[in-house]
Amino acid sequence: MSSLAISCRQLVKRYDGKPPVEAVRGVDLEVRTGECFGLLGPNGAGKTTTMEILEGLLDATASEKMEVLGLEWGRDDETIRNRIGISLQETRLSDKLTVLETVNLFRSFYRSGLEPIEAIRRVSLEDKCGAHVEKLSGGQRQRLAVACAIIGDPELLFLDEPTTGLDPHSRRELWEIIRGFKSAGRTVLLTTHYMDEAERLCDRVAVVDQGQVIALGTPVELIARLGGQHIVDFSLSGAGNPLTADEVQALPSVQSVRLDGGNFTLSVTEPHVALPGLMNYLQQTGREFATLTTRHATLEDVFVTLTGRHLQEGEEAA
Amino acid sequence: MSRRALHPLGHLVLARIRMFYRQPEAVFWTYGFPLVMITALGLAFREEPKTTILVDVVGPQAEAFQTRLAKDSRFKVVRPAESDWKKRLQSGKTNLVVETGASPTEPPQFWDEPRRADSLFAREAVENVLLHELVPERPAIAEKHLDEVGSRYIDFLLPGMIGMNLMGGGMWGIGFVVVDMRVRKLLKRLLATPMRRSDFLLSVMLARLIFTLFDMIFLITFGYLAFGVRCSGSLLELSLVMAIGGTSFAGIGLLVASRAQTIDAISGLMNLIMLPMWIASGVFFSAERFPEVFQPIVQALPLTCLNNALRGVMLDGDSIVTQWRPLLALVAWGVVSFTVSLRIFRWK
């Protein structure tokens, strides 16, 4: 078996219209068997489109190569369908069916797979077996969607924004379920616009923006590429003449500076060197902090550094 | 596990049936509403044999004239106050007013309402009594009455209601359900599994036919119990006609649903298709009442075909062989719709 669960090169999806919209503009991806791979990006970045092409639900406008589990859509559809599991963004399953009936129905489509009750147990919905879908909370519905995705005991699991709109507790529960699935040696491809989700759950992350992969690597690698793994955020009180980014850039241990409104974000290698340097400089030049925080760098910082925008900003290219 | 043994098609049909009976409102609109409608229409258009003739008699000789009319038991004679009778005639409380003269020999005057058939009929009847008095030894004429079940309005209406229900069931039961699943992205989700597309389409149609079966049993039993409506042809052939109708409209429903992406779109489309047929296809009154020029179109409509075949079997006792024309047209509608919808169906 191929050690790549997914491999695609120069994936393009163009929607005809005036003007035509290129939702995916030449994406290359290689997802290794056994890893949890995340597509991280803002809304409208092309994550879902990429995902649905790989799931065989959308046709690509063009691609140089596209293999899922070493097979190709259009030739081995039934085989692929039997070996993958999918949770779409926002599927509303039939309200009037119970949890068990829903899972039973999905089980009937697969040649082999889990016992329905086992799938329900894995997503901790045993207590809700007889409950109608309409009576479930958002988190429970999402867990049911995952149960339906894993019912065929897939080698490869696609999860499109599995935790969007869920409360923190429900999100953590879902993360546990996904980790459990991965620990059995299975592969997961998920999309998210939560950087913490990508950081905690994913072995590797592709940062996607405007239909292209703009960075690829483990969360640690990506953060390391910022130059500093620590972030210093500060702003100044009104008094004194304005501080320029160049002045700050010149200070010891400072790798990069971003100025957004009146807020400075520094990426630094050694906070214990950078902070005293910054404080001394401000004191000498007669300036004062309004706010000051230090923290570890996140994938959010990676995204902002690469694009100048935040992950959760507007949905312009939807 | 026994559940596992069930084919996906079985699971899909079972799921459809569960979704249906767990929605009381859907059950009412499918089964209750037609019964309510047929009861209301059956009662409103109940036709009682015309046995009484209402006549008002006024004037000096009123009492004597009343005795003359009393020989015929059909007359119901009232002697109102002088000031009342005109109003009674206007408001339809009486059919005819006889104003008698001063002496028994003076001929009476009749007041009728020439626009009302029963008023004219009453006048003829009273005149007849007067004429018969002149020829007392007329030979008695034997009277026979045609009072056959099968010629009433309700007998005409029930097959129309069955046809209308088969159309509504096929259209809503398939069109609406499929588009709802598309809107929910459930269709897409199912497509993401190894489920066979044909299983899905078949399941929606099979479930529909099962609901229809109950629907038809209800309507026919109800028509029989409440109004004594009978089927003069064979029940088996009637079932066959209904099965053909139900399947055809399921195909048309699928066609209507094959591209629509919103509930509004499908509702509009279905009304656009069903409304003309409710009116033109002879549900409530005969389709032949439309002008001759429209007949080729009217007769080609699938609901007209179905209603004609249903009435042929139920009212005229025809066999389906006699009704091959509308049935063939119906099958053609179904097959063409189904084939086209398979080609253009929007799965993704």
Checking if the pLDDT of B117 tops 90, the result is no
Task: State the smallest CA–CA distance between residue A200 and chain B in angstroms.
Answer: 27
Contacts of B164 (CB under 8 A, 6+ apart): B34, B278, B283, B303
Do A44 and A34 contact (CB within 8 A), yes or no? no
What are the pLDDT digits (tens) for B253-290?
999 999 998 989 999 999 999 999 998 998 888 888 88
- Mark which residues 184-223 of B lie under 8 Å from A by CB: 184-186, 188-195
Kindly state the average pLDDT of the residues B243-261. Answer: 93
Mutant choice from A105, A107, A114, A135 vs B, greatest count of B C-beta within 10 A: A105
Sort out which chain A residues have CB atoms less than 8 A from B195's CB and list them: 109
Number of Cα atoms under 13 Å in the Cβ half of residue B307 = 29
| CATH no. for A227-296 | 3.30.70
End of a domain among B105, B134, B163? B134
Are both B245 and B270 inside the same structural domain? yes
pLDDT, position A315: 39
Given CB atoms, is B103 within the 8 Å cutoff of chain A?
no
Task: State the smallest CA–CA distance between residue B30 and chain A in angstroms.
Answer: 18
Instruction: Tell me if B192 and A78 make a contact (CB, 8 A cut-off).
Output: no
Q: Can you tell me which residue has the tokens 């429900």?
A: A170
Are both B291 and B312 inside the same structural domain? yes
Kindly state the average pLDDT of the residues A255-259. Answer: 88
Task: State the smallest CA–CA distance between residue B2 and chain A in angstroms.
Answer: 12
Single pTM value for the model: 0.79
Checking if the pLDDT of A108 tops 80, the result is yes
Instruction: Tell me if A81 and B3 make a contact (CB, 8 A cut-off).
Output: no
Are both B180 and B299 inside the same structural domain? yes
B4, B15, B192: residue with CB nearest A86: B192
pLDDT, position B160: 93
Kindly state the average pLDDT of the residues A83-98. Answer: 91
Instruction: Tell me if A92 and B184 make a contact (CB, 8 A cut-off).
Output: yes
Q: Is B286 inside any structural domain?
A: yes
Are both B41 and B60 inside the same structural domain? no
What are the pLDDT digits (tens) for B46-73?
766 667 888 899 888 888 888 888 877 8
In order, the DSSP letters of B203-221 are HHHHHHHHHHHHHHHHHHH
Kindly state the average pLDDT of the residues A179-187. Answer: 92
Kindly state the average pLDDT of the residues A15-34. Answer: 91
Given CB atoms, is A73 within the 8 Å cutoff of chain B?
no
Q: Is B139 inside any structural domain?
A: no
Given CB atoms, is B19 within the 8 Å cutoff of chain A?
yes
Supply φ then ψ for residue B103, to 5 degrees.
Answer: -115, 160
Least reliable range by pLDDT among A209-218, B91-100, B146-155, B289-298:
B146-155
Confidence of residue A317 (pLDDT cuts 50, 70, 90): very low
Q: Is B86 inside any structural domain?
A: yes
The strands making up A21-32's β-sheet, listed across from edge to edge, are: A21-32, A4-15, A65-68
Chain centroid offset of residue B145 CA: 26
Burial class (CB in 10 A: 0-12, 13-18, 19+), B154: buried
Sort out which chain B residues have CB atoms less than 8 A from A105's CB and list them: 11-12, 15
pLDDT, position B65: 86
Residue A250 in tokens: 């010149």
Q: Domain spans of chain A?
A: 4-223, 227-296
Confidence of residue A318 (pLDDT cuts 50, 70, 90): very low
Alpha-carbon gap, residue A39 to A202, rounded angstroms:
9
Given CB atoms, is A86 within the 8 Å cutoff of chain B?
yes
Given CB atoms, is B8 within the 8 Å cutoff of chain A?
yes
What are the pLDDT digits (tens) for A66-87?
999 999 999 999 999 999 999 9
Q: What is the dihedral of CA A113, A114, A116, A120, to 10 degrees?
A: -130
What are the pLDDT digits (tens) for B121-152?
888 888 888 887 777 776 767 777 665 666 78
Q: Which residue of B has its CA nearest to A154?
A: B193
pLDDT, position B5: 56
CATH of the domain at B130: 3.40.190.10
C-alpha distances out from residue B196 to A109, A233, B8, B156, Å:
8, 56, 9, 43
Are both B172 and B268 inside the same structural domain? yes
pLDDT, position A155: 96
Alpha-carbon gap, residue A176 to A142, rounded angstroms:
13
Are both B168 and B88 inside the same structural domain? no
Q: Is B16 inside any structural domain?
A: yes
Give SS3 for A169.
Answer: helix
What are the pLDDT digits (tens) for B29-38?
878 888 888 8
End of a domain among B134, B160, B177? B134
Q: Which residue of A has its CA nearest to B191?
A: A57
Residue A22 in tokens: 């290129």
Q: Which domain holds residue B7?
A: 2-45+149-344
pLDDT, position A314: 46
B3, B19, B189: residue with CB nearest A91: B189
Q: Which residue of A has its CA nearest to B347?
A: A57
pLDDT, position B86: 87
Alpha-carbon gap, residue A39 to A46, rounded angstroms:
10
Q: Is B91 inside any structural domain?
A: yes
Sort out which chain B residues have CB atoms less than 8 A from A115's CB and list them: 1
Q: Is B144 inside any structural domain?
A: no
User: Can you tell me the ipTM of this complex?
Assistant: 0.84
Checking if the pLDDT of B2 tops 60, the result is no
Nearest Cα residue to B313 out of B228, B237, B248: B237
For A85, other C-beta atoms within 10 Å of its C-beta total 29
Checking if the pLDDT of B305 tops 70, the result is yes
Instruction: Tell me if B189 and A93 make a contact (CB, 8 A cut-off).
Output: yes
Q: What's the CATH number of domain A4-223, 3.40.630.30, 3.40.50.300, 3.30.420.40, 3.90.1150.10?
A: 3.40.50.300
Given CB atoms, is B12 within the 8 Å cutoff of chain A?
yes
A88, A108, A116: residue with CB nearest B185: A88
pLDDT, position B149: 63
Beta bridge partners of A215: A207
* Domain total in chain B: 2
Q: Is B267 inside any structural domain?
A: yes
Sort out which chain B residues have CB atoms less than 8 A from A155's CB and list them: none
